[in-house]
């Protein structure tokens, strides 16, 4: 990707890689590039605008990894921090995958306003490992029930699989408030069906079992012999 400079990046965060006339870039690296977003039209982004953005990004260095090509800048007025999309989590930045596709550095990112603190030895509802002792970039809470705690990485992975239509609090099943809070906090929720409802998800259910599982098979033809009936 000519913007994040990564050959291998998490497609769940950076999106698919697009290629046109020798230019390669991830979908969301393009979406979050500040200058490109402002230059969008109904016909999409022009190639000359992409080239211009790449050239300007080459002059900016990521405050996380120090490398050039940082096309994403903090939305806060007066902040000059720039970063690559794959570096956002390491730098504790928030990238909002909706609306204006705003991005914020660690200092100016939005934080959860809900008043809640985890009890001692509280575990993540998803991975069951311990969470931190307070709300933080990596430890989040459901704004509705205030009892569901989880790691940022865990809820992001859950969102990728659940999709927009099935994403909800793992504990209280609140949908709208939970979804809007997670979007604001930088969780990407793809607009598609959940992964478990894909065309292949139930393919195995239509397959006929064709092997004997008895401890001692009495069929003369062996465990793999199929009968026409029965």
* Structural domain includes residue 63: yes
Give the chain's domain count. Answer: 2
Residues 76, 156 share a domain? no
Residues 89, 59 share a domain? yes
Strand, coil or helix: 205 = helix
- pLDDT class for 18, splitting at 50, 70, 90? confident
163 Ramachandran zone, left/alpha/beta (phi>0; psi -120 to 50): left
Residues 84, 146 share a domain? no
- What is the model's pTM? 0.77
Residues 132, 69 share a domain? no
Residues 40, 100 share a domain? yes
CA dist 70 and 84 (Å) reads 5
For 54-89, the pLDDT digits (tens) are 888 888 999 999 999 898 999 999 999 999 999 999
- CATH code for position 97: 3.30.40.10
- CATH code for position 132: 3.30.40
For 128-157, the pLDDT digits (tens) are 999 999 999 999 999 999 999 999 999 999
Is 9's pLDDT higher than 60?
A: yes
Mean pLDDT, rounded, for 209-226: 69
* Structural domain includes residue 5: no
Residue 168: closest CA among 119, 215, 126? 126
Residues 98, 135 share a domain? no
Determine the pLDDT at residue 85: 94
Contact 85, 13 (CB under 8 A): yes
Residues 92, 16 share a domain? yes
């Amino acid at each position: 990707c000519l913007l994040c400079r990564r050959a291998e990046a998490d497609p769940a965060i950076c999106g698919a890689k697009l290629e046109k006339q020798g230019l390669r870039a991830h979908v969301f690296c393009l979406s979050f590039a500040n200058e490109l977003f402002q230059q969008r039209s109904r016909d999409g982004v022009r190639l000359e605008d992409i080239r211009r953005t790449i050239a300007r990004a080459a002059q900016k260095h990521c405050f996380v990894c120090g490398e050039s090509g940082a096309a994403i800048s903090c939305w806060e007025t007066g902040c000059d921090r720039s970063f690559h999309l794959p570096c956002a989590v390491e730098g504790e930045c928030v990238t909002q995958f909706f609306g204006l596709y705003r991005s914020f550095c660690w200092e100016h990112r939005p934080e959860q306003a809900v008043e809640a603190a985890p009890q001692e030895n509280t575990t993540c509802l998803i991975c069951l490992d311990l969470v931190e002792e307070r709300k933080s970039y990596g430890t989040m809470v459901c704004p509705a029930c205030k009892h569901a705690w989880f790691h940022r990485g865990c809820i992001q992975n859950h969102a990728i699989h659940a999709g927009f239509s099935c994403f909800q609090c793992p504990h209280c099943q609140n949908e709208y408030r939970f979804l809007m809070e997670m979007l604001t906090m930088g969780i990407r929720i793809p607009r598609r069906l959940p992964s478990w409802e894909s065309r292949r998800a139930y393919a195995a259910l239509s397959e006929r079992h064709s092997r004997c599982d008895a401890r001692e098979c009495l069929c003369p033809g062996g465990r793999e012999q199929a009968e026409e009936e029965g």
